[in-house]
A and B are shown apart, each in its own frame.
Chain A
Amino acid sequence: MNKNAKEVSRRSLLAEGIRSFSLLCVGGFAGGMMGRSQSQRYCWQIDPHKCVMCGICATHCVLEESAVKCVQAYAMCGYCKLCTGFFDPSPQALNTGAENQLCPTGAIVRTFIEDPYYEYKIDENLCTGCGKCVKWCKAFGNGSFYLQVRHDRCLNCNECSIAIACPSEAFQRVPYDEPYLLKGTTSKG
């Protein structure tokens, strides 16, 4: 009995030692990591001037439906009747028939304003962030369609999986307080 008790105490002493040691390790590790953690908070955003519309945003986000969506810079839009971002390159007719639309999910809403102007709005619930409209709007129009990370959806991963795959380094960290790189407001180009 006596021997047994002694052994137990020796064992518990050893456990105590290892525990303190691990706690010290965890503490040291925490301290080291805290040094790494930054007080300035960042989130991910696409620089629309660097984006090459490769379509990776639609497929590489950890969310099933990508956090990247197309947005419309209304102040830059030409309100064209023939919107090259909205219509297929060779449309049958200039109406909202699905066969005439470029967007694979029909996410662009075309509304008549006054002759000959139309408003083009993105329905974010349908947009997949594929960037097809962005490409064609930039090629022939004003480039008012562009891709942005929508922060109501973005999980703000430590390492964004789209950023890893982005071929043009358009993905970058921006300050948390100004999470958008809006076209038309910043004069970068």
Chain B
Amino acid sequence: MIFFVRTAPFLILLLACLGAAEDIQRFPPPDFESGYVMPATTTPQPRAGWLNYLDLAVLFTALSLASYLVIYKRNRPGIFALTIFSLLYFGFYREGCVCSIGAIQNVAYSLFHANSAIPFVVIAFFLLPLIFALYSGRVFCAGVCPLGAIQDVVLIKPIRIPRWLLQSLGLIPYLYLGLAVLFAAQGSSFIICEYDPFVSFFRLSGRLNIIIVGFSLLAIGVFVGRPYCLFLCPYGAILRLLSRLSLWQVTVSPDECRQCQLCEEACPFGAIYPPTPEETQPIRKNRKQLAMMLVLLPILVALGSWSFSLLAPTFSRTHPAVRLAEDISLEDSTHSETYSDASQAFRDLGQSKEVLFNQARNLRNRFSWGAWILGGFFGFAVAFKLIGLSLPQQRMDYEIDNADCVACGRCFSYCPVELKRRREKKSSRSAPKDQTIQEQ
């Protein structure tokens, strides 16, 4: 018996070699006498198409509601409720996919791959929050983004971060954005999705190292306001730029500021700046600094380009084709007996090595261009930050910086002027009774 078992595969192999052909049934299915019914192969269908449009409708409604709550109602509990809803819907129900942050890569990929098919919903997820940012600031961050939401929920005891640290770590998102666009455009990987720290919580499964990163970010997030949003989020980097232009700016209170400093203390993101002291710095000194930064701009761009071009070979290895080509040429040159899995599969298929090596060469070329551009972009981002810091600022009151503000609405209830305004509004409302009913 054992002998038969041991040799059977080889006998079968012999038989197979005799009559080898694809899909020929070597062992025809039997005629069952026991009345056994053959099951059919199950084919679970993909998510129904109209549900994607439901996602889109929810996104649009949530963005509109967030704008209404932040700009018009100035209602923190409302914003928080919306945050929880988004966490449940876009986070736990949709498992963090489709998301606006990741959509950057889909858009970049399809821009550089003419024959790729990008779904309409993904484009809309990428663009809608940007359009809203042009009107009402970062309301997407405030109440719609599930990654922001999960961090907002754990933010219990915010401490104040030194401004220099906020400013310098705030440069990382630009680098992350650049890298994500580079890798997506070359088709090597979607790093924003791969290293998304919170998506494993939404899906209740994930790689151990990512889960550890996620937990540590949440642990830091108890004290530091939204560490992912502030120091990593690449979509936030785009939203920052656009929200500077927003039509309706978030204000602590529409009434006159009493300069009590309470709001500045209350903001966990360091987005509220104190009034500038009058004429402490001579204008001339400021101008000199600005001129120096402008001279520094091309130097930083060149430095960035050069230093990143050194990394181009490393970047190119993120692409499987480049890796495979390197594996194969290494194996060939060392006459290796054992092959890597991908190389084995490639050899089994008998595909042309020349084509692969050509493809790898092209990719390396494209990566070296990409690394130059990425380095230049990052140098530009650094220089832009420095120029922004040396521009003369004039603030009469405590003011919200629209780029830094994630529109969470925490400051509203800290402002005594705002509280007074609310009281007055309430009392003026409660006077005519039927109007109150209408309002509610």
Residues of A within 8 A of B (CB): 15, 18-19, 22-23, 26, 29-30, 33-34, 36-38, 40-43, 49, 52, 54-56, 62-65, 71-80, 82, 84, 89-91, 93-94, 113-114, 117, 119, 121, 139-143, 150-152, 154-159, 161, 164-165, 167-168, 173, 176, 179-180, 182-183, 189
Contacts and interface: CB of A to CB of B under 8 A. Distances in A.
Given A91-B5, A158-B106, A42 B117 contact: yes
Interface stretch (B70-78, B189-197, B291-299): B189-197
Contacts, number: 189
B32 A164 contact: no
B345 A54 contact: yes
B116 interface: yes
Nearest to B107: A33
Contact of B30 (A22, A64, A117, A161): A117
Interface in B304-331: 319-320, 324
B117 A37 contact: yes
B9 A84 contact: yes
Given A22-B242, A78-B25, A117 B32 contact: yes
A38 B131 contact: no
B46 A52 contact: no
Q: Which 5 A-B pairs have the closest CB atoms?
A: A78-B27, A152-B44, A189-B23, A189-B22, A54-B345
A158 B6 CA distance: 46
Contacts of A43: 46
A92 to B, nearest CB: 8
Interface of B: 2, 5-6, 8-9, 12-13, 16, 22-23, 25-30, 32-34, 36, 38-47, 49, 95, 97, 105-107, 109-110, 113, 116-120, 122-123, 127, 130-131, 134, 184, 187-190, 193-194, 200, 203, 205-207, 242, 245-247, 319-320, 324, 341-342, 344-346, 348-349
Given A22-B242, A52-B348, A89-B9, A72 B123 contact: no
Contacts of A40: 117
Given A19-B247, A30-B127, A167-B345, A78 B203 contact: no
Contact of A141 (B27, B32, B49, B127): B27
A99 to B, nearest CB: 13
Contact of A176 (B43, B49, B205): B49
A76 B39 CA distance: 12
B188 to A, nearest CB: 7
A159 B190 contact: yes
B205 A64 contact: yes
A35 to B, nearest CB: 10
A55 B341 contact: yes
B134 A22 contact: yes
Contacts of A34: 120, 123
B8 A82 contact: yes
A179 B43 contact: yes
A91 B320 CA distance: 36
Nearest to B210: A64
Contact of A73 (B2, B5, B41): B41
Contact of A113 (B32, B105, B188, B348): B32
B245 A22 contact: yes
20 contacts: A15-B245, A19-B134, A19-B246, A38-B117, A41-B49, A49-B22, A64-B200, A73-B41, A74-B40, A75-B38, A114-B32, A151-B43, A156-B47, A158-B105, A159-B109, A161-B189, A164-B319, A165-B320, A167-B346, A182-B43
